[in-house]
Structure 1
Amino acid sequence: MATVNNSSTWHTHFSRLARYHVWATHRLLEAVSPVPDQDYRRDVGLFFKSIHGTLNHMLVAEHLLWYARFAKGASPVLALDAEIEPERERLAQALKGGSANWTSLIASWSAERFDSLLDYQTSKGVPQSLPFAATLAHVFNHATHHRGQITAALTAMGQPCPELDMVYCLQEESRK
């Protein structure tokens, strides 16, 4: 059995999750791109109603709230269902750019940072102090959750769906 020399550090773990986040975001948005606008915007029973509503929520939560909390120590007050970007191509570009920002942010942190707390205020202004690494894991898990909702909606619409399992990203990386 072959062994892998892979130091199990927080940087390694979260850098891998950030790369997967970029890869999965791009694949999802490629699959969503050809969906007719009436299907893209209609209520298909998702928590944020439509594919568009869910993608806007992802922009709000992952990039405007959580990224600001982790990168700047800021706690913006935004509604989780706010439509930040009504134009779908600009929304896709914002999601792609936002997903890429996490990689350099994670690389900038000291190893000790991952074992600390993240102090912030919720979107309702309530002070919180949570384990830094676990809360960062939440950000990537949140994205996976909503990508799964969107792929289920695509399937229900009869649209082709991308395979977004992380193992496929890892296999692609291993071939490079």
Structure 2
Amino acid sequence: MPGTSFFHQARNNAWSNHRLYGVCQKLTDQELDTKRTPFSSSILQTLNHILTNDWYYLDALVDGGRGRGCFADEMPFAAIDKLAAAQRDTDMRLMAFCEQLNDKDAIRSVELVREDASKTHDTVGDILSHLFVYQTHQRGQVHALLAVTSQAAPPLDDYHLEYDTPFPGIDFSALGRKGA
């Protein structure tokens, strides 16, 4: 079993994004761009938001130097295919990071610069835990928004159990990784 339990969460994160993008890429431009509810922006904006948050936290974890610059453009991708490719690349980098992570790395302190320019220090483990919960929440919003489109929302809860194995196995093959 590579790395820590965070590796499995990173795989689940990549798998969930892959499934969600598989459906979102079938939507019309109008379905992607329409603001649906007060709590959420459009599907495309929400997917861009997920990506920029991934960029921010992954950058902090690897001391990449971009910091808040990850949010300079709130909509870095207007085309769903380019957004999907960028998300996939980011998911692969996050999996690679988590695959190499060990228990000592998980307690390493990382500086985060917040919106108000204040600085906080959190452990790698705390940041990853936050990131995976936050991404689950944001994907849940997209999942709900899909209910009023031409496409059915994909199942995102069939990941670890034996009877679910064929589904993530197929998806992981498409991602160039071994199945669940």
Q: TM-score, normalised by structure 2?
A: 0.81
The aligned residue for residue 21 of structure 2 is 29
Change (3 A) 1:16 1:92: same
The aligned residue for residue 3 of structure 1 is none
1:121–1:128 CA contact under 8 A, matched in 2: yes
Verify: 1:170 aligned to 2:140, yes or no: no
Change (3 A) 1:60 1:46: farther
- The RMSD of aligned alpha carbons is 2.4
Q: TM-score, normalised by structure 1?
A: 0.83
Give ranges in structure 1 of 5+ residues lacking alignment.
1-5
The aligned residue for residue 59 of structure 2 is 68
1:160 Cα deviation after fit: 0.8
Identity rate, percent:
22
1:18-56 Cα offsets, whole Å, 9 max, x none, are 110111010000011111110110101164510000011
In structure 2, C-alpha distance between the alignment counterparts of 1:81 and 1:54, rounded to whole Å: 13
Verify: 1:45 aligned to 2:70, yes or no: no
Give ranges in structure 2 of 5+ residues lacking alignment.
170-178
In structure 2, C-alpha distance between the alignment counterparts of 1:163 and 1:46, rounded to whole Å: 24
**Matching residue's letter, 1:69:** A
Change (3 A) 1:88 1:81: same
In structure 1, C-alpha distance between the alignment counterparts of 2:116 and 2:76, rounded to whole Å: 18
The aligned residue for residue 85 of structure 1 is 77
1:42-89 Cα offsets, whole Å, 9 max, x none, are 1011645100000111111112x1110011253233448711111221
Verify: 1:139 aligned to 2:135, yes or no: no
**Matching residue's letter, 1:29:** Y
